[in-house]
A and B are shown apart, each in its own frame.
Chain A
């Protein structure tokens, strides 16, 4: 299990700041039109269509209309259209803009909610993306989020520190918690060659039992409720990004975790494209043999990568306990750790791509809740749409075949050079 085939580590054009600007923009145009962006958009469209079929299928009126399809086919079509459009309209209203809300603040609130959901997705997704780039399948973001949440919440409610420092330490603590959980599979792989897929999966389960154990301990559970830790102190909570004095009467949950996510995106970009650690990381992922021959320590790189990946996932945990939730709960990680895998895949393991993918999936999640409450369409449909998107993006020929788009990269590919080797007599 080496280099994930859907995330070929091609240096992005942003990586160079050479003088040839015109060529750079040419390159960008080619990518946009022919390549990944187009495929991604088409994949999203196709996934929503497939989701639509499911919604129609599950709708009782549609099924009823289907029983007399041959006498009145139009009934089926209109019932299906109604079910699907209602659901997707609700999804949009819940995710982006709710034109039915009374105030402007209410109308844009969905967008802020999408961002709130996106923050942990982006952070954990970045962690997984960093792993992918080093050729590591880190399935363990779930556990790393949980550990980050445990560390951050403990510092948040148990310590008494000045404003500012408290938050900083709590956030760092979260990163450390995740990093510890990432260091275990990293260290075991580096030292013993233990398969990181298996180890991270196991650590996810261990983390789940650990959090349920911890929540029963007196420190975390003074009220014996067994479900929730004491609330994190105000001094350790992410401040709201848009405070009441700025936009009076808003009930946005948007907090400074967003800034952490953006900073993390920039950090990961710098790490991968500008730092020596990132150079080693990408080398180890693309060709560990050559990396070793060039004097890099692949084991050390694996370890560092997993520590960083875990730290990023741990930050996702802080977004939950220091921001959205305000306390440690058993379900603090929800399914963010697993969703983050699809986020990283959709973002093709690139920082900016992961950010955009995280926002998209955050929007789907936020919209999904409104859709569920308004149209009784279960939010599980979002999972279906998400996974179909990722599957399709991983198989561009399939998407091209469905939409009958020619492959624009083909004539540009210079295959001669790589072929010579294979036809060598």
Chain B
């Protein structure tokens, strides 16, 4: 409310009489909630004699790990205990005014998911295929990660990119069309960033040059791309699918040695080149954003554009290029839907993943590394829904598929409600 910066107080009052801010105990409450759900839904709802079978390895590894069963009730109780213990520890940490580490969030999340799996697979003959669960999760996360990185690049410079969805979709479309024309998935892959960048350029043109509200431009561009690709899909592609919309999959590249590691090998290192590009992209972006001239200037433009202007940084030029670059990244991610998955283009095939990517970026606090974690969370829960609905579980698949969205709402309200976005995010910059 007030923008006055209160000076840091060197000679603050002695600690015992100082009035301190109220502590927010939201985190331990959320942990405890997870633990209680585990205890009273998962554990109570489990047959005491049942066990849950997990399948870890597929045939290709150096050695095979046999499927193993876990006594369901004991597993659920242990996991519930772990979550409640984490809640207690988080409470202690907060009480002494220390922060709760990120890995504890992760740990509680994993514990909750595993306890859910234990419950869902309890007493069933079908096994929980861990490897394919994870591999599928990664696959579903790929466009989300690219989209989230696109969001980070744009929003760190102060431009909200709601058009990730459109960039993904246009990337997918152009990748399919160019790949069919040249009969090569790689040609499509090379073309996809340009498609995304084109959408990004439109966003930059309207949002930066004409100072139209960034959210509005983004939403409308998404509609535009849906209409445009839908139109060309039913005309150009439908007229001659052979030369405009043939399947041109990218080949799977096995990284020697690494791909033989059990569980992780098949998940991480038997992938298309697009996924390897993604690994590099995330690492490079994380480094560049905080350790390079580009990153410093990008963050300055997103936090305090006027300050950047006064040291000779061209604020709007920087924003335009960042948005175009961000568009290119999302466009590349869009290639995953077509050439990356070996599919032909389909109407509206990005199916809202761009919006989920945006949510992942926000959950990840505009930080590449954390955004990847959030995107993986979404990919995982979506895949969990898919897997469980095929192996059959007591839970309706729709409710499972809702899960990531519900988690996001909880997270936006509970964990990141107070997170600080780049200060100038969403506001156009003018000198006078």
Contact = CB atoms under 8 A, between A and B. Distances in A.
**Are A and B in direct contact (Cβ within 8 Å)?**
yes
B160 interface: yes
A198 B227 contact: no
Interface stretch (B38-46, B141-149, B211-219, B285-293): B211-219
A5 interface: yes
Interface string A43-74: 00000000000100011100000000000000
Given A199-B413, A378-B234, 9 more contacts: A58-B232, A139-B219, A188-B413, A205-B405, A209-B398, A380-B233, A383-B227, A384-B231, A394-B210
B407 to A, nearest CB: 9
Please name the 7 residue pairs, one residue from A and one from B, whose CB atoms are nearest each other, closest first.
Answer: A383-B227, A380-B230, A58-B235, A213-B398, A387-B224, A395-B210, A378-B234
Interface of B: 1, 160, 162, 206, 210-213, 215-217, 219-221, 223-224, 226-228, 230-236, 239, 352, 355, 358-359, 362, 396, 398-399, 401-402, 405-406, 408-409, 412-414, 417-418, 426, 428, 432
Contacts of A195: 362, 412
A54 B212 contact: no
A384 B212 contact: no
A89 interface: no
Given A60-B239, A422-B432, A394 B412 contact: no
Contact of A384 (B211, B227, B359): B227
Nearest to A344: B216
| Chain A interface, >50% SS class | helix
B405 A206 contact: yes
Interface string A174-193: 00000000001000100111
B220 A213 contact: no
Interface of A: 1, 4-6, 54, 58-60, 137, 139, 184, 188, 191-195, 197-199, 201-206, 209-210, 212-213, 216, 289, 292, 338-339, 341-342, 345, 377-378, 380-388, 390-391, 394-395, 397-398, 422
Given A388-B224, A390-B220, A5 B213 contact: yes
Nearest to A338: B223
B417 A383 contact: no
| Chain B interface, >50% SS class | helix
Nearest to B354: A201
From A193, A341, A391, name the one whose CB has the most chain B CB atoms within 10 angstroms: A391
Nearest to B160: A1
B227 A387 contact: yes
A108 B215 CA distance: 39
Given A342-B220, A380-B231, A391-B224, A202 B212 contact: no
Contacts of B232: 58
B227 to A, nearest CB: 3
A391 B217 contact: yes
A4 B408 contact: no
10 contacts: A5-B211, A198-B412, A201-B358, A202-B406, A205-B352, A213-B398, A378-B230, A378-B231, A381-B231, A395-B206
Contacts of A388: 224
Contacts of B236: 58
A6 B213 contact: yes
A54 B224 CA distance: 13
Contacts of B1: 289, 292
A213 B355 contact: no
Contact of A206 (B211, B216, B402): B402
A209 B220 contact: no
Contacts of A6: 212-213, 216
Given A205-B352, A380-B234, A381-B227, A395 B212 contact: yes
B409 A202 contact: yes
B235 A378 contact: yes
Nearest to A211: B398
A212 B398 contact: yes
Contacts of B162: 197
Nearest to B2: A289
Given A6-B216, A195-B412, A213-B396, A201 B210 contact: no
Contacts of A188: 409, 412-413
Contact of B399 (A59, A204, A213): A213
B362 A4 contact: no
A328 to B, nearest CB: 15
B61 to A, nearest CB: 36
Contacts of A1: 160, 215, 426
Contact of B226 (A58, A59, A192, A383): A383
A394 B234 contact: no
Nearest to A381: B231
B408 A198 contact: yes
A213 B406 CA distance: 16
Nearest to A292: B1
A192 B235 contact: no
Contacts of B352: 201, 204-205
A397 B210 contact: yes
A203 B409 contact: yes
Contacts of B212: 5-6, 391, 394-395
Contacts of A60: 239
